[in-house]
C-alpha cells in the first residue's frame, strides 16, 4: 500500500553513528532509511556579543544540503549567495527544538552550534536532523561536564522528531520522498522523552484536514519518537 511496503505505523530503519567526525566536540551521522544527515556540535567558550554577560548560554543550529543529496542537483546556496527560505525555516526549527530541552542557565556562557548537513536526502531531513542533533549535543555536553564539572546537567531530557502524513487517506508514519511528494497532508512533530510536545507543524498540501487526522498523526509520532529515543540512548551509551 505504502510505496515502501511499510505498515502505516512503521518507521524506516534508524541508525545513529556517534563520534562520526574527528574534530567536533560531539557528532552523529543519523540515518532514517536512505536519509543521511551529519550533525556536529561545536562548543565555543565565548558568546556572540549580543548574548554576553547575561549568565546563560546559547544553542543554535545551521542546516545545509549537499547539492546532489537529492534526486536532481540543486544549486549550492553558497554559490547563490543566500540561504533559501526553506533552509532558514528548518534551521530555526532545529535550534528551537534543542533549546527547548536545554537549560541555558546551567550551560553557562558558552555557545553550542549544531551543524546539520544532509549527505543524502529521501524525505524527513529536518526530523532526522533534530533527532541526531540531540545525540551530538549530548556528547558535547558530556565532554564539557567531564572537563570542568558543570554542577548540574543542562540537558535533562531527550528530544526527537518525526514526520507523519496522510497518504491515500491513511495516516502514516515517517514519510520517505515518494510518499512525501504525494501526501495530502504533511506534519512534523517534535516531542520530548517525558511525553511533552515541543512543536507541531501540520500543513494541508491538498484538501484541508480535520482534528481527528491531526490526533491520529500525533499518536503515530509518539510511536516513532519512542523508537528514536531508544536509538539515541544506545548511541550515547546510556
Rounded to the nearest whole angstrom, what is the least distance from the CB of residue 145 to its own copies in the complex? 20
Rounded to the nearest whole angstrom, what is the least distance from the CB of residue 201 to its own copies in the complex? 5
124 assigned to a ligand binding site: yes
Rounded to the nearest whole angstrom, what is the least distance from the CB of residue 107 to its own copies in the complex? 16
Please spell the DSSP secondary structure of 109-130, one letter per residue.
Answer: S-EEEEEEEEEE-SS-HHHHHH
Radius of gyration (C-alpha) of the chain in whole angstroms: 18
Crossing angle for the helix pair 125-148 and 211-235, to the nearest 10 degrees = 40
126 assigned to a ligand binding site: yes
Closest CB to its own copies among 149 and 157? 157
194 assigned to a ligand binding site: no
Rounded to the nearest whole angstrom, what is the least distance from the CB of residue 72 to its own copies in the complex? 8
Distance (Å, whole) CA 17 – CA 234: 10
Query: What is the grid cell recorded at 24?
Result: 567536533
125 assigned to a ligand binding site: yes
Distance (Å, whole) CA 166 – CA 154: 37
Closest CB to its own copies among 34 and 153? 34
Residue ranges in contact with its own copies by CB under 8 A: 21-24, 27, 34, 38, 40, 42, 44, 62, 64, 66-73, 76-89, 91-92, 96, 100, 113, 115, 117, 119-120, 122, 187, 191-192, 194-204, 207-211, 214-215, 218
Rounded to the nearest whole angstrom, what is the least distance from the CB of residue 45 to its own copies in the complex? 11
Residue the block writes with cell 484541508: 208
Question: What's the Cα-to-Cα distance from 226 to each of 87, 104, 138, 168, 229, rounded to whole Å?
Answer: 27, 25, 18, 25, 5
Strand order in 26-32's β-sheet?
Answer: 14-18, 26-32, 35-44, 111-120, 58-65
Rounded to the nearest whole angstrom, what is the least distance from the CB of residue 86 to its own copies in the complex? 8
Q: Cβ–Cβ contacts within 10 Å for residue 131, how many?
A: 30
Query: What is the grid cell recorded at 106?
Result: 546551567
β-pairing, 35-44 with 111-120?
antiparallel
Query: What is the grid cell recorded at 148?
Result: 570542568
Could you list the residues known to form a binding site for phosphate, using ranges.
86, 124-126
Could you list the residues known to form a binding site, using ranges.
86, 124-126
Amino acid at each position: 500500500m505504502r510505496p515502501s511496503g511499510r505498515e502505516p505505523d512503521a518507521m524506516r530503519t534508524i541508525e545513529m553513528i556517534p563520534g562520526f567526525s574527528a574534530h567536533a566536540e560531539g557528532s552523529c551521522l543519523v540515518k532514517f532509511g536512505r536519509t543521511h544527515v551529519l550533525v556536529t556540535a561545536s562548543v565555543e567558550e565565548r558568546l556572540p556579543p549580543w548574548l554576553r554577560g547575561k549568565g546563560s548560554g546559547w544553542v543554535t543550529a545551521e542546516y545545509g544540503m549537499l547539492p546532489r543529496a537529492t534526486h536532481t542537483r540543486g544549486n549550492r546556496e553558497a554559490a547563490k549567495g543566500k540561504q533559501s527560505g526553506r533552509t532558514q525555516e528548518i534551521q530555526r526549527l532545529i535550534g528551537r527544538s534543542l533549546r527547548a530541552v536545554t537549560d541555558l542557565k546551567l550551560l553557562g556562557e558558552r555557545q553550542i552550534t549544531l551543524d546539520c548537513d544532509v549527505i543524502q536526502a529521501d524525505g524527513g531531513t529536518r526530523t532526522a536532523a533534530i533527532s541526531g542533533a540531540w545525540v551530538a549535543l549530548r556528547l558535547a555536553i558530556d565532554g564539557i561536564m567531564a572537563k570542568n564539572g558543570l554542577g548540574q546537567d543542562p540537558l535533562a531530557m531527550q528530544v526527537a522528531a518525526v514526520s507523519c502524513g496522510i497518504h491515500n487517506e491513511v495516516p502514516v508514519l515517517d514519510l520517505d520522498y515518494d510518499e512525501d511528494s504525494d501526501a495530502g497532508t504533511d506534519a512534523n512533530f517534535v516531542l520530548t522523552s517525558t511525553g511533552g510536545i515541543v512543536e507541531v507543524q501540520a500543513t494541508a498540501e491538498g484538501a484541508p484536514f480535520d482534528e481527528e487526522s491531526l490526533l491520529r498523526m500525533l499518536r503515530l509520532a509518539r510511536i516513532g519518537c519512542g523508537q528514536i529515543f531508544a536509538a539515541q540512548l544506545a548511541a550515547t551509551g546510556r
